[in-house]
Structure 1
Amino acid sequence: MNPLSPHTAHHGAHPGHQHGHSTVDQSEILDLDAEVLAEHTASLTEWLPVDSSPRHIVDLGCGTGAGTLALLLRFPDAEVTAVDSSAGHLHRLREKAEAGGVADRVRTLQADLDAVWPDLGSPGLVWASASMHHMADPDHTLRQVHRTLAPGGLFAVVELAGFPRFLPEEAPEDAPGLEERCHAAGDRHHAEHVPHRGADWGPMLSAAGFTVEDRRTITVSTDRAHSEAIGRYALRSLQRLRGTVAEALSPDDVAALDRLLDTDGPHSVLRRSDLAMRTERTAWAARR
């Protein structure tokens, strides 16, 4: 996601790997992700190899609506069905759509796609950003999307290799390399619990009957001068990461991480001027 969101955690798009955090926390992270990555999300919607502008789009695992709103802007004659298992995410999406004057072009649908596949009509475009790796049976979901799409329709899958990085390699001063150690522990956790994160979706799309027409990888490096939201995004992301990896870290690393997360302390990540969000996203465009 979100649009290219790395933090979604609800089924049906976002299965339940919440690690003790509330939907409010997830919604905030999704909103921050959308803000920081808005230009990159727009570039992906522009890249889509559509034969003609779709009139009906489905956003699978829409989160709080970054992809939905970008698609509405890219295709001004389209309507979007936004699907997520989280009522809170969908409520936030509707608020954004109303604020943006596009509420009449959005239909929200709460559904757990691992349980019952809803009636989504015959969309010309299905968009799934940072959601496919959460499916309990991704191959089944891909076949369902293939059956749902209109003939000649396009399926856009956007996925991430891992969580974004924010700190310089030598940071923090009292525990250089801390962020990489946190990510290594997080990768081990997700290899067990979310095994399809970082997968090559091309062969799976082909096996489901799609023709993969294009693939694109974007590398993102954005500093605080470009987006003031990066500090808050780093804070929320590291808080969530701590909930997953604390037991796998040394006591010294946990203490150093807690100093970064102490918003009132002198070492708070919010006080750092050297933050930059670094991440990578890969997108596949597949035709029915």
Structure 2
Amino acid sequence: MTHDHGTQPAHQHGHDHGRDDDQAEILDLDAEVLGEHIASIVEWLPVAASPSRIVDLGCGTGAGTFALLTRFPEAHVLAVDSSTDHLHRLREKTCEKGLSGRVRAIQADLDTTWPDLGTPDLVWASASMHHMADPDRTLRQVHDTLAPGGLFAVIELAGFPRFLPADAPENAPGLEERCHTASDRYHAEHVPHRGADWGPKLTAAGFTLEGERTITVDIEHSRSEAVGRYALNGLRRIRNTVVDNLSAKDLTALDQLLDTNSPHSILRRPDLAVRTERVVWAARRP
């Protein structure tokens, strides 16, 4: 979802409990704010027949899982994540939605243990592939796991969403872009596969690439009150990666945006939006 949300991916191992809770919250917000776009990706998938067995790799709190179940009403989903907290939240949602009979959750760190996933017709990996220690190996494992003719969908956000106008905030215009520049440097070192072109990698792993699509996301604040909370959580996470690389003036301005009691709080701004791109690759096992 991710999607890269700062320093911790949905399936990453080694969480502390508080950080896991924060990650779960932003995954839930991501699903709420970007749900329409997730549904459009699922609708676009070039499936020859409705899949009956689906695997959601790095499922987080279930945004992809529930979109897939809605689109394919006869399907069952195996949801895989390494976070017990994320899977607990997913199970709670599954019960609330009356879908317990169609979802099975498995805890696994995909970098160390490849669980028995059966022989799925569709594997969905949203914002999880770029966090793999050896993504080429993971691609080969997915290829060998899929049923012949099965589809693999890789979905990635093109960097972290932008929320503020270019000339904001008033006391530090362009602050968000400078934060992103610093964050990109951090991620280039710590998450080197972020922003990769997965098409050639999928082909090298034995897949036939069936489609690639870029979806532009531009959601104004007026369309969802959750945009403010999404921006607040997102910029809090970016702060963790850029705190040592911002000027004192920029850090002060950023902290004012993140202070919910400040008159400069990001929650008080009517000009917020979610702007990013989502790229989808659909690849088939011959």
- Please confirm whether the aligned pair reaches a TM-score higher than 0.5, indicating the same fold: yes
The answer to whether the Cα contact below 8 Å between 1:7 and 1:26 also exists between their aligned partners in 2 is: no
In structure 2, the residue matched to 1:262 is 259
How far is the alpha carbon of 1:9 from its aligned partner?
2.3
Equivalent residue runs for 1:92-241 within 5 Å? 92-241=89-238
SS in 2 for 1:22: helix
Query: Which structure 1 residue ranges, 5 or more long, are not aligned?
Result: none
Q: Which amino acid aligns with 1:282?
A: V
Post-superposition CA distance 1:228-247 (Å, at most 9, x none) = 10000000101111011010
In structure 2, the residue matched to 1:245 is 242
Q: Which amino acid aligns with 1:49?
A: P
Q: Which amino acid aligns with 2:21?
A: V
The answer to whether the Cα contact below 8 Å between 1:157 and 1:283 also exists between their aligned partners in 2 is: yes
In structure 2, the residue matched to 1:72 is 69
Q: Which amino acid aligns with 2:42?
A: T
User: Between the two proteins, what is the percent identity of the paired residues?
Assistant: 69
The answer to whether the Cα contact below 8 Å between 2:118 and 2:145 also exists between their aligned partners in 1 is: yes
In structure 2, the residue matched to 1:6 is 5
Post-superposition CA distance 1:129-186 (Å, at most 9, x none) = 0000000000000000000000000000001221000000000000000000000000
Out of 15, 23, 48, the residue aligned to residue 26 of structure 1 is: 23
Change (3 A) 1:257 1:8: closer
Q: Partners in 2 of 1:65 and 1:233 — Cα distance?
A: 17
The answer to whether the Cα contact below 8 Å between 2:163 and 2:273 also exists between their aligned partners in 1 is: yes
How far is the alpha carbon of 1:10 from its aligned partner?
4.7
SS in 2 for 1:222: strand
Q: Normalising by structure 1, what TM-score?
A: 0.96
Q: Partners in 2 of 1:253 and 1:19 — Cα distance?
A: 28
How far is the alpha carbon of 1:15 from its aligned partner?
4.8
Out of 75, 80, 85, the residue aligned to residue 88 of structure 1 is: 85
The answer to whether the Cα contact below 8 Å between 1:6 and 1:130 also exists between their aligned partners in 2 is: no
How far is the alpha carbon of 1:273 from its aligned partner?
0.3
How far is the alpha carbon of 1:93 from its aligned partner?
0.6
The answer to whether the Cα contact below 8 Å between 1:218 and 1:280 also exists between their aligned partners in 2 is: yes
Change (3 A) 1:21 1:169: farther
Structure 1 ranges of 4+ moved more than 4 A: 18-21
Q: Partners in 2 of 1:221 and 1:22 — Cα distance?
A: 28
The answer to whether the Cα contact below 8 Å between 1:5 and 1:33 also exists between their aligned partners in 2 is: no
Q: Partners in 2 of 1:250 and 1:274 — Cα distance?
A: 25
Change (3 A) 1:10 1:164: closer
The answer to whether the Cα contact below 8 Å between 2:81 and 2:106 also exists between their aligned partners in 1 is: yes
Q: Normalising by structure 2, what TM-score?
A: 0.97
The answer to whether the Cα contact below 8 Å between 2:164 and 2:271 also exists between their aligned partners in 1 is: yes
Post-superposition CA distance 1:74-125 (Å, at most 9, x none) = 0000000000000000001111111111111000000001001100000000
The answer to whether the Cα contact below 8 Å between 2:5 and 2:26 also exists between their aligned partners in 1 is: no
Q: Partners in 1 of 2:97 and 2:74 — Cα distance?
A: 15
The answer to whether the Cα contact below 8 Å between 1:154 and 1:287 also exists between their aligned partners in 2 is: yes
The answer to whether the Cα contact below 8 Å between 2:7 and 2:241 also exists between their aligned partners in 1 is: no
Q: Which amino acid aligns with 2:264?
A: H
Q: Which amino acid aligns with 1:229?
A: A
Change (3 A) 1:21 1:200: farther
